[in-house]
Amino acid sequence: MSDITPRCTYRLQLSKAFPFEAAGACVEYLSLLGVSHVYCSPILQAGPGSSHGYDVVDPGRISDELGGETGFRRWSTVLGEHELKLLMDVVPN
């Protein structure tokens, strides 16, 4: 069983201007810094133009502005390739 206890976390504020694709581009750098876990802002579908993601309007869908489910799966794969874990802030409104 792998160690899931966070050693070093790094917070990413996802938004339309910083979606999953941009977050994925940071993963190698974060790994080199020794980060073990990425802690991200909410990823569920928020109100149009939300800059923070805390105004969830559909808790059953990943935000289209962030890249949707496809973008999230790609980002998750990149995190796994660098052995980084993900901590998510969830707002189930």
Annotation: CATH topology of 9-88? Transcription Regulator spoIIAA (3.30.750)
Task: Give 9-57 pLDDT, tens digit per residue.
Answer: 999 999 999 999 999 999 999 999 999 999 999 999 999 888 888 999 9
In contact, 21 and 49? CB cutoff 8 Å:
no
Domain ranges of the chain: 9-88
Output the pTM of the full model: 0.89
Residue 81 tokens, joined: 């390739």
pLDDT band at 65 (very low <50, low <70, confident <90, very high): very high
Averaged pLDDT, 55-80: 96
Radius of gyration of the chain (CA): 13
Distance separating alpha carbons of residues 8 and 30, to the nearest angstrom: 10
Residue whose token pair is 């977050």: 23
